[in-house]
Each structure stands twice: as C-alpha cells, then as structure tokens.
Amino acid sequence: MTRRKVAVTPRARKPLTMYVCGVTPYDSGHMGHAFTFVIFDVLVRFLEAGGKRVKYVQNITDVDDPLFERARRDGVDWRDLADRETKVHLRDMTVLGWRPPDKMPKVSEEIARILGAAAKLKSSRHAYHSDNLYFDASSYRGYGRLSHRTRRSMIRKLREEELLGAVGPSAKRDALDFPLWRRSRDGEPAWPSRFGNGRPGWHIECSAMAMRYLGPQIDIHGGGRDLIFSHHESERAQSESLTGKAPFARAWVHTGMVRYNGRKMSKSLGNLVKVSQALQRAPAAAVRLYLVSHRYRRDWDFQWSGLARAARFIERMRKLLADDARSKGPKKPAGRALMTEFNRALADDLDTPRAVRALRSAVRQKDAAAVLAMQAVLLGTASLT
C-alpha cells in the first residue's frame, strides 16, 4: 500500500495468514491466472521451507456479474458453468504442482456470513438501503489510499469496468458507493434477506470470507493488479469499518498482467493462452519455470520461444537429477553459497527471476542437492517430463 517493501513477521507461534482472491469461474485456465497462483504458491512454499506455518485461503467467486453474463449468453445454468470452470482451475493448478490452499470457500456457500457482515455495516451506519444496500464510501476515511487514486480516477475506472451504476434518490447517493446486497436479475440466484431477495455485492464476499477463516486482520492479501481498485480498495474500507481494526491486511501483494501479442490476455480480446495449450508443448515444470522467470509485480509478454527455452533447461535439470539418483556413494549436501543466494533472492520481495538464476547456477555446478531444494520451492511438484 505504501508502494514499499514491508517485513511481514507472523505473531509468535501463530501461522502466517494469507488470503488470495481466486477465480471467477467463467474463463479459468489461462496463463494470467496461472501466473498469479503460481507466484503465491512459491511464496507459501518459500515460507514453509523456512519453517514458518502458513494458513492459506483462496476463494472461488461463484456469485459475480461476469459469471452470470457468460451463463446467460451461452444459455447454460450458472452453477454448471461455475462447476466446470472451477474444475479447470483445480486441474491446472494440480498439474502445475501447487500446494493447495487450506481452504477454498465458495461464495454460494457463504451467504449467511456475507449477509451478517452487510447487516452489521448497515446498523453501524456505514451502509444505507435504497434500491440495493450500499456501502457509504464517504463513511470511511481514506477511501482511495490503497490504490493511490483521485476521486476522478476512481470514477473513471468504475465506468471502464461497468461498475459505476446509477446515482440518484432511488439508487446510490454517491458514485463511489458500491452494493453490499443487490436485487438479482432473471437467471441469477437469489437468497432471502431483510434487504429483499437478492445476492451479495462482489467486494463484501471477500471481506466476509477472509474474516471468517483468517480473523479480522490478515498478514498477506494477494491478487491480480487489476483488483487493487475497486475490489481491494473496497474490501479494505468495509473490513476496517466492520471490525474497527486497522490494517485489515498488513501487506498487499499484487501480481502483474500477462500480455499476449502486446495486449492483456482476456477472453473478450480472444488472445488467451490456456495452460492446457502450454502443457501440450512443454512439461509442467517448464511452464512453471517460465512463469516464475518473471518478476511478480511487473506486466510481461507471453512468448512461445520463452517457454521452449524453459523446457530445454528443465530437460538438462532432469538429466542431472537422474544421473545423480543412479550414482552410488554418499550424497553431497547442497552448496551453502548457492542456497544463501537462492534464499536471499526470495526474501527480497520474492525476486523469483534471481532465484531462477541461482537454480541455473546449481545445475551448471552439478549440485544435485541444491537443485532439489530449489526445485521444491520454485517448481513445486510439477512434473519434469
């Protein structure tokens, strides 16, 4: 939030808590998603390799506008679409060798908690009811500080994302207010509540799930960079208004966008590279290595030549490990200088490209023990073949 690195030290004996905004299951399985979730997987594995305990929650946003729009357009039931795309996400991440989150709550199974949070905001006058129940953004000091945006820039982003909605006596009072509970349209799920039959707004879903599973304050909150505004800005405002405790998240970690042919990958532009397509050309470990060869906070361009280079390196690494496994005699411990460099790289704001260079050095020096230790963190359980 300060655009600076912060040290996150878990409180004594308690696990470090991490919440990452998961997929809205309607276009799962592309490289942009894989990049985000592999980066957070490296973070979890690095912390755990260092002896820390991590409690990791990643949600499934199965109640959200883009999902319903897609279901309507394709003439399918939103539940079927969500189930299918959630399976794609889990399949991809399993192949990419992640350490699964400890809990993956689905919004559709958390409605009571979400409603409870919305009602509490209403009774503490952070929310008001007109056509929908809205959060009053002006009731929270510092709305806009997480994303470093002016009021005008926030409104512009809301308009771009078609989240602006209507302002007026029978709608929201101010352009920055956002729905906590809203009426459902045809084909959308509706749950009964004292604010009318309807469904939750997007932001309150994550606040309620993060707090249910990780408590009022969490150590690390992550997601793609496109979520900083309005999603995380709003989550922070609601959560701190609900609990009176600040900060809601001690550190915010946002991953960059993956482009293809110069533009952000998105289904609407038709330039998605699917994880399944990449896996047809390279082993899972190579796909993962290619992803983590990029700095997490920067945007980057997916290139097939980069994936091919990663695959050639993985093959060299596989041969080294196979030779080492066959060789008799005592195994040498991992070289200390190599491991120090590797751990320093990841401790320095998760500098994965530098950690990949350490892995390359370990392969060049034929240090199989160091390669294995680095592989476990960077590549997880992704297959080398």
Residues forming contacts to Zn ion in the complex (CB under 5 A) are 21, 206
Instruction: Quote the least distance from Cβ 323 to Zn ion, whole Å.
Output: 46
Beta carbons within 10 angstroms of residue 189's beta carbon:
16
Q: Where are the alpha helices (DSSP H) in 105-232?
A: 111-123, 151-160, 202-214
Instruction: Identify which of residues 229 and 302 has a Cβ nearer to Zn ion in the complex.
Output: 229
Q: In whole angstroms, how close is the CB of 228 to Zn ion at the nearest point?
A: 11
SS3 of 322-373: the string is: HHHHHCCCCCCCCCHHHHHHHHHHHHCCCCHHHHHHHHHHHHHCCCHHHHHH
**Residues 6 or more apart from 145 whose CB is under 8 A from it?**
1
Q: Using CA atoms, how far apart are residues 44 and 15, in angstroms rounded to an integer?
A: 11
Residue 107 Cβ vs Zn ion, minimum distance, rounded to whole Å: 10
In the complex, least distance from residue 231 CB atom to Zn ion, rounded to whole angstroms: 5
Q: Are strands 178-183 and 133-135 parallel, antiparallel or unpaired?
A: antiparallel
101 with 211: CB under 8 angstroms? no
Q: Which is nearer to Zn ion, 206 or 359 (CB)?
A: 206
**Cα separation, 148 vs 344, whole angstroms:** 30
Amino acid found at 50: G
Nearer to Zn ion, 177 or 233 (CB): 233
Tally Cβ neighbours within 10 Å of residue 290.
27
Residue with Cβ nearer Zn ion (21 or 258)? 21
Cβ 21 to Zn ion shortest distance, Å: 3
Separation of alpha carbons 350 and 331, rounded Å: 29
- Would you say 165 or 224 has its CB closer to Zn ion? 224
Q: CB of residue 145 vs Zn ion: minimum separation in angstroms?
A: 18
Residue number with CB closer to Zn ion (21 or 63) = 21
Determine if residue 350 is left, alpha or beta; phi over 0 gives left, psi from -120 to 50 gives alpha, anything else beta. left
CB of 206: closest distance to Zn ion in angstroms? 3
Task: Name the residue nearer to Zn ion (CB basis): 21 or 214.
Answer: 21
